[in-house]
Chains A and B, each alone.
Chain A
């Protein structure tokens, strides 16, 4: 039983990080109706920037975390202004091709600038673990989870209580009505893209000391996150959170009791089962955010 609980704790930690990436992806889809195939690469960019700041510039982990998140958010905003802003409604396929291209540029650009080999990031929390009620808790992972939880709570607060957050939800639910009340689509979409991509960068930066950092680390997590947002219901933020935790725990438990090879397939098997029972996903209503 203790082993099972340990696996669940690990799974919740992993799920919280998935949630950061999935919620960002879902937010962008909800507002812009574009599936961002470069999203995993922004996760990689966050990890790379943090690795560079901590190992090369000697900056502390927490200041580096903030700098990496903001930097990736700014890159995301620029990508919106230069490329994504020009999309019109119904140009879904063009969005896919363009974001795949952006992902390739990011991956190869990082490989060119920082090299293709894996890098490890050591911080003051590396190799530190705590014994909480008999359970082993890794300090670095715990920090990543807490950072994720705070970011998700902050996003919830922005979407629920601020004018700009409500405008984002409004825009995602009914574009024409949003135009009519005077919401400016370019402003709202730009902010949503910057926030969504910054969240991916934050996840990468928070996990950089846990996993090896390399230019190709974005692609595998991207497909898993696609499965998560489909399970949660496309564009549903609560759905993305619940599905992330579900996948995190399931993966951890399956990996713990059976083969690690099976662990990576779990998200996709779960996606097939959920789609058979709930074609719109667990929280999908055909209306976003």
Chain B
């Protein structure tokens, strides 16, 4: 089987806000894969994910996209380079209509490209077509999550960062979100996803990266991480003795 090309590479990165939260993280992300970013509360998952998009401070280290350093680029420049993010919490414009939100999602594109991009995401997420005139703030939590994902996909990112995409959703909606994420791999995207629903996340992922208090605890194939006794005990509620057996 041919080796996949590395699309995103973190080299010894230290990132945070006023001081480093995540330290000395190195990682090679191959294209067209889904990565789960796992860790407990305060492990630094969101901080690391945001830093990949330039929303937090990079203290040291290098971030390469297609081999070119991007750690000093603004979020707008990273969008143009092919990155997208759906951060945790609401990331839309609540008083604007769904149509206007989609227009803003395609802000960096030309008028004709934006029109095509909007049509493309409306075909991917038909539920949005029926809500084009509604204010984004009036949509349900699941619909807003879909809208935000659609906005992130309009610029045709090659790397999509998702921060807790299933947070606050019903189990049925969570399942739909994971199915949508899985379908993105079929579109050729690379997805890095921070998730609290570790089981759901690992089930659809190719690889996993585990953070503990801002440092790397483990990295490997998603199935292997899922079977790891330490992960079972720490995150999946397994009994320590049973997990070792």
Contacts and interface: CB of A to CB of B under 8 A. Distances in A.
Nearest to A169: B96
A287 B108 contact: no
A183 interface: yes
A113 to B, nearest CB: 40
A55 B20 CA distance: 62
Nearest to B79: A182
Q: Which of B55, B76, B80, B93 has the most CB of A within 10 A?
A: B93
Interface string B73-93: 011100110001101001111
Interface string A160-180: 000100110110011011111
Contacts of A181: 79, 104-105, 107-108, 151
B76 A183 contact: yes
A184 interface: yes
Contacts of B152: 180
Interface residues of A, number: 19
Contacts of A173: 93-96
Given A163-B107, A173-B96, A182 B76 contact: yes
Nearest to B111: A163
Contacts of B80: 182
B206 interface: no
Contacts, number: 69
Interface SS of chain A: helix, strand, loop or mixed? Answer: helix
Given A182-B107, A183-B107, A176 B95 contact: no
B93 A169 contact: yes
Contacts of A287: 94-95, 137
A181 B151 CA distance: 8
Nearest to A184: B76
Interface in A19-40: none
Contacts of B137: 287
Contacts of B71: none
Contacts of B151: 181
B13 to A, nearest CB: 20
A176 B96 contact: no
Contacts of B212: none
A180 B105 CA distance: 9
Contact of B94 (A166, A174, A180): A174
Contacts of A169: 93, 95-96
A208 to B, nearest CB: 36
Nearest to A187: B76
Given A179-B76, A180-B91, A182-B75, A170 B96 contact: yes
A37 to B, nearest CB: 27
A167 B87 contact: no
A181 B87 CA distance: 12
Given A166-B104, A182-B155, A183-B107, A177 B92 contact: yes
B100 interface: yes
Contacts of B105: 181
B53 interface: yes
B182 to A, nearest CB: 23
A174 B92 contact: yes
B103 interface: yes
Contacts of A166: 96, 100, 103-104
Contacts of A178: 93, 104
Contacts of A179: 55, 75-76
A167 B91 contact: no
B107 A177 contact: no
Contacts of A180: 53, 55, 75, 79, 84-85, 87, 91, 152
Interface string B138-169: 00000000000001100100000000000000
Interface in B50-81: 53, 55, 74-76, 79-80
Interface string B218-243: 00000000000000000000000000
Contacts of A183: 76, 104, 107
Nearest to A236: B95
Contacts of B84: 180
30 contacts: A163-B103, A163-B107, A166-B100, A166-B103, A166-B104, A167-B107, A169-B96, A170-B93, A170-B104, A173-B93, A174-B90, A176-B87, A177-B90, A177-B91, A177-B104, A178-B93, A179-B75, A179-B76, A180-B84, A180-B85, A180-B87, A180-B152, A181-B104, A181-B105, A182-B75, A182-B80, A182-B107, A183-B76, A285-B95, A287-B137
Given A170-B104, A178-B93, 17 more contacts: A167-B107, A169-B93, A173-B95, A174-B91, A176-B55, A176-B91, A177-B92, A178-B104, A180-B55, A180-B79, A180-B84, A181-B105, A181-B107, A181-B151, A182-B75, A182-B108, A287-B95
